[in-house]
Structure 1
Amino acid sequence: MNTPIRRLSILIAMLFTTLLVASTVVQFAQARSLGAMASNKRTLLDSYSRERGAIIVGGQAVAKSVPVQDQYRFLRTYPQGELYSHLTGFYSYSVGAPYGLEHAADDLLSGDADQLFVRRVTDLITGRKTSGATIELTIDPKAQKAADQALGQSRGAVVALDPKTGAILAMVSHPAYDPNGLASHDLNKAAKAWQSLSTDKDKAYLNRALSGVYPPGSTFKVVTAAAALENGVVTNENSSVPGPAQLDLPLTSTNLPNENGQPCGPGDKTTLIHALEISCNTAFGSLGLELGGEKLRAQAAKFGFGDSLQVPMRVATSSVPADLNEPQSAQAAIGQYDVRTTPLQMAMVAAGIANKGSVMTPYLIQSVRSANLDIIESAPDPVELSQAVSEQTASIVTKMMVSVVDNGSGARARIPGVDVAGKTGTAQHDPGKPPHAWFISFAPAADPKVAVAVVVEDGGVTGSEVGGGRVAAPIARAVMEAVLNR
């Protein structure tokens, strides 16, 4: 072989090798990332050609695929629309990236999950068309409907948990939206629906239960009380604590006042239980001074603050700032300064107290089923996230929270014949705007079946300066009653 032919042969061999390497990289190394690209419409068309798995609540589909006579073959529909919109999210060819569970559980719903590998192989051998898995949620439909109706036209969120397992029983965020328009195969209609949703001034696309981050206000006093008991600053609910009309804060000329401008008891003293009943700012501010910021922060962390959670949707991280000085510690102790939390996190605080101090990891998927409803995967045994407080501390705080409902600011959460534990909150945020109204609770106090957190932005639809006891407590009561009466 002469030199030119040999060189040409080497060049051709190199080109074939390069082509082989490039195709291998594309088909194997880059396959997952290319398939996941929102701009890859071929992947979306392939997904639409499969029957996507349903999302089930209480035996009824809240998201399902129905056959249609167009290039997509299946249309994603949401029979109950807004009620479950922040749980299901939406699956849209026009928008591309899915939202909610449609995104977080996409590998299951599309049939691409590792758990479904054997089924995909079987489908390949038998020639059967691959379909996605059905996922069954932990949601109690009665609790979900009660939360939705009670929240009404207010902006805010409601979360209900089973304290003993961490199962999410209700999750509602308002304002909601109808995902059906977004899933339409009429691309103009879907684009208009997305334009309307993505530019909505009230952020209807935001799942406030998981991604809304708020100052918790006085509901955080439950964490402060727990920290004071755990660290020996107080010994029981009848321990004496300061309760002046104003608390003199060191390092600043600004004092911390009570909302009504009055002392919380005679001689500027009160008991811990009475301080929680009337939500005495100065009492809990003084506990914050004595504890210091790091002990407050450590106690909050035991309830889940600072953790990155997925349920399977990603949850915004709740936080207590580090390196708090004394005035900041006092403010943080009443749930102000830069303390920020999600409604799910505050439901976990209530659930942790309810469950004898043990905080369970929250979860939303009860089971995964094949297209013929055979169980592929059940929810794992309940997983403890942390032991937030001792059983004794949980018992003392429970007694105090029951007194808040029986004798204090949480009276509107009372349920006849049931001991309800609760805590109100009124959280200042933007200057010039009404405070957010909060309520956290659980019931029955002795054997809890449900823990609830409610936040109503700007105090509700009236916009008046009202506390959590007037606005948020009745919403929590409606959800607790729905669970207890099922």
Structure 2
Amino acid sequence: MNKPIRTIAIFCLLLFVALMLNATWLQYWKASDYDDNALNRRVIEDAYSQQRGAILVGDEAVAESVESDDQYDYLRTYPQPFKYAHVTGYFSFYDQTGIERSENAVLSGDDDLLFVNKLVDLLSNKSGKGGNVQLTLDPDAQDAAYAALEKLPKDPDTGTVEASVVAIAPATGKILAMASLPTYDPNKLASHDFGAVQEDYDRLSQDPTEPLLNRAIQTTLPPGSTFKIVTAAAALSSGNYTADGQVPGGATYQLPQTSGSTGEIDNEGRSCGTDQIPFAQAMEESCNTTFAALGVELGADALREQAEKFGFDQRYLQDLGPQAVSNFPADANEPQAGQSAIGQFEVRATPLQMAMVAAAVANQGVLMRPYIVDSIQSPSLETLRQTEPEELGEAVTPEVADGLTQLLVSTVEEGTASPGAIAGVTVAGKTGTAQSGDPDVPPYAWYVSFAPAQDPEVAVAVVIQSAGIDRGEIAGGTYGGPIAKAVMEAVIR
């Protein structure tokens, strides 16, 4: 073989090798990345031709595929769209969100758990069907949460309510309810009329009230006085205080390194004594002066350490996203520690985070990982994978948890959290009214609780971000208490 021919042959051989390497790289190493890419239209078009699995709450499907008479064969439908929209998310030609996204491999039938089913379908020449996702949600609790939010008066400027509810089973971390307002209809985004889909998506994404936002896990706000549970936990854990003992009182408290009204903490007219008062009274009356003083005494490091034991500054929700991270400020000085101790300054929390605080106290101090996917099932409802409860760590000792429970029960029976009381059931709870930091934005109303206090079945967090409530009437107990009560009753009765 002469030299020119040999050169061309070697060059062609190198081209074939490069082509084989590129094909191997694309079809083997990168295949899953392309399959999982939400912008891959081929994958979406193929998925539209298959029967996607159902998302189940109890025995009912809250998302399912029905036969369609167009080129895509199946249409994704949501029988109770507004109530479950932020959990199920939507499956559209352009994108997926919520459970539709996080469990897409199962629902589409591509998960390895469904290999046998896929093989049987292939051998029998049947079209494939995706697996089912069974959620942990309690339908009665979800009904109660959504109905209670819907009863809130609407903001006259926006015509809607911005609020959310989360309920957790303290012993396991199962999410029993997750509702958010404003909501939307995922059926419109799953439509095969792609022009209408784009129009509706543009409308929702440009809405200033952000109806696509799952406020239960994607919105962080100052938790206000509900954070006093964390501060009380740090105080009791320090060994310097007991639930039956005395704590600093007083009508006002001047933060260190400050002077005048800008650094003065008051109690907004509540009865908080003068010098030392019972810890129960401080919690019942939600005394800002007490908890600010405790925060300064304990220091920012101790507060942050305690907050992180409850889950702050962490991502712990693995089966639904995206999750906003609750935050306790780093490197806070003394006056900032005092403000942080009452849930202000730069402290931010999601409703899920504050439900976890209540749940950890209820569970004798043990913090459980929250989860919303109970099991993965085959198309024939055979359980392929069951989620097992997982401990994240000890937030407080059992003794401290007992002390906190004692204080929170007293707050429901004798204090500001009384609107969450349930006849014949011992309830532990705490209210919060957090300043937004913007004089034009009204405060946020919070309520956290768990019940029955001595044998807890459910922990709840409620936040009302915006509603048709006069600024002077906004209070966590008045509006959040009845919502939490309705959800707790739905679970325990």
Judge same fold: TM > 0.5, yes or no: yes
Q: Residue by residue, what CA displacement relative to the aligned partner does 1:315-356 show, whole Å, maximum 9, x if unpaired?
A: 211111111111001001101010011100100000111111
Q: Residue by residue, what CA displacement relative to the aligned partner does 1:143-193 show, whole Å, maximum 9, x if unpaired?
A: 101111111253111000011111000000100100000000011111111
Q: How does 1:244-255 map to 2 (within 5 A)?
A: 244-253=250-259, 254-255=262-263
Distance (whole Å) between structure 2 residues aligned to residue 378 and residue 263 of structure 1: 50
Question: Does the residue aligned with 1:457 lie in a helix, a strand or coil?
Answer: strand
Paired residues of 2:270 and 2:285 also in contact (CA < 8 A): no
Distance (whole Å) between structure 1 residues aligned to residue 139 and residue 310 of structure 2: 27
Is structure 2 residue 17 aligned with structure 1 residue 3? no
Task: Tell me the amino acid that sits aligned with residue 351 of structure 1.
Answer: A
Quote the residue 2:485 is aligned against.
Answer: 477
Q: 1:256 to 1:122 in 2, by over 3 A?
A: farther
Quote the residue 1:115 is aligned against.
Answer: 113
Q: How does 1:449-464 map to 2 (within 5 A)?
A: 449-458=457-466, 460-464=467-471
How far does residue 261 in structure 1 lie from its aligned partner after superposition?
A: 4.6
Distance (whole Å) between structure 2 residues aligned to residue 463 and residue 309 of structure 1: 36
How far does residue 18 in structure 1 lie from its aligned partner after superposition?
A: 1.9
How far does residue 118 in structure 1 lie from its aligned partner after superposition?
A: 3.3
How far does residue 420 in structure 1 lie from its aligned partner after superposition?
A: 0.7
Task: Tell me the amino acid that sits aligned with residue 239 of structure 1.
Answer: G
How far does residue 434 in structure 1 lie from its aligned partner after superposition?
A: 1.4
Distance (whole Å) between structure 1 residues aligned to residue 82 and residue 245 of structure 2: 48
- Please point out which of 435, 442, 456 is paired with 2:443: 435
Quote the residue 1:448 is aligned against.
Answer: 456
Paired residues of 1:156 and 1:455 also in contact (CA < 8 A): yes
Distance (whole Å) between structure 2 residues aligned to residue 324 and residue 379 of structure 1: 39
Distance (whole Å) between structure 2 residues aligned to residue 349 and residue 262 of structure 1: 25
Q: Residue by residue, what CA displacement relative to the aligned partner does 1:50-92 show, whole Å, maximum 9, x if unpaired?
A: 1111000110000000111222111000000100000000000
Quote the residue 2:157 is aligned against.
Answer: none
Q: How does 1:77-476 map to 2 (within 5 A)?
A: 77-93=77-93, 96-152=94-150, 153=154, 154-234=161-241, 236-253=242-259, 254-261=262-269, 264-265=272-273, 267-314=274-321, 315-380=323-388, 382-432=389-439, 433-458=441-466, 460-465=467-472, 466-476=474-484
Task: Tell me the amino acid that sits aligned with residue 282 of structure 1.
Answer: T
TM-score (structure 1 length as normaliser): 0.96
Quote the residue 1:28 is aligned against.
Answer: 28
How far does residue 262 in structure 1 lie from its aligned partner after superposition?
A: 6.0
Q: 1:478 to 1:311 in 2, by over 3 A?
A: farther
Q: 1:370 to 1:277 in 2, by over 3 A?
A: same
Paired residues of 1:405 and 1:421 also in contact (CA < 8 A): yes
* Count of residue pairs the alignment pairs up: 479
Distance (whole Å) between structure 2 residues aligned to residue 480 and residue 225 of structure 1: 24
How far does residue 40 in structure 1 lie from its aligned partner after superposition?
A: 2.1
Paired residues of 1:233 and 1:291 also in contact (CA < 8 A): no
Distance (whole Å) between structure 2 residues aligned to residue 30 and residue 8 of structure 1: 31
Q: Residue by residue, what CA displacement relative to the aligned partner does 1:449-476 show, whole Å, maximum 9, x if unpaired?
A: 1100000014x32142321011111110
Paired residues of 1:245 and 1:268 also in contact (CA < 8 A): no
TM-score (structure 2 length as normaliser): 0.95
How far does residue 8 in structure 1 lie from its aligned partner after superposition?
A: 2.4
Unpaired runs of 5+ residues, structure 2, are: 155-160
Distance (whole Å) between structure 2 residues aligned to residue 438 and residue 38 of structure 1: 36
How far does residue 373 in structure 1 lie from its aligned partner after superposition?
A: 1.0
How far does residue 125 in structure 1 lie from its aligned partner after superposition?
A: 3.4
Question: Does the residue aligned with 2:471 lie in a helix, a strand or coil?
Answer: coil
Q: Residue by residue, what CA displacement relative to the aligned partner does 1:115-161 show, whole Å, maximum 9, x if unpaired?
A: 22333333333333222110111101111011111112531110000
Distance (whole Å) between structure 1 residues aligned to residue 437 and residue 341 of structure 2: 19
Question: Does the residue aligned with 1:229 lie in a helix, a strand or coil?
Answer: helix
Task: Tell me the amino acid that sits aligned with residue 250 of structure 2.
Answer: P
Q: 1:406 to 1:450 in 2, by over 3 A?
A: same
Cα RMSD, aligned residues only: 1.4
Paired residues of 2:366 and 2:391 also in contact (CA < 8 A): yes
Paired residues of 1:246 and 1:263 also in contact (CA < 8 A): no
Task: Tell me the amino acid that sits aligned with residue 438 of structure 1.
Answer: W
Distance (whole Å) between structure 2 residues aligned to residue 333 and residue 44 of structure 1: 49
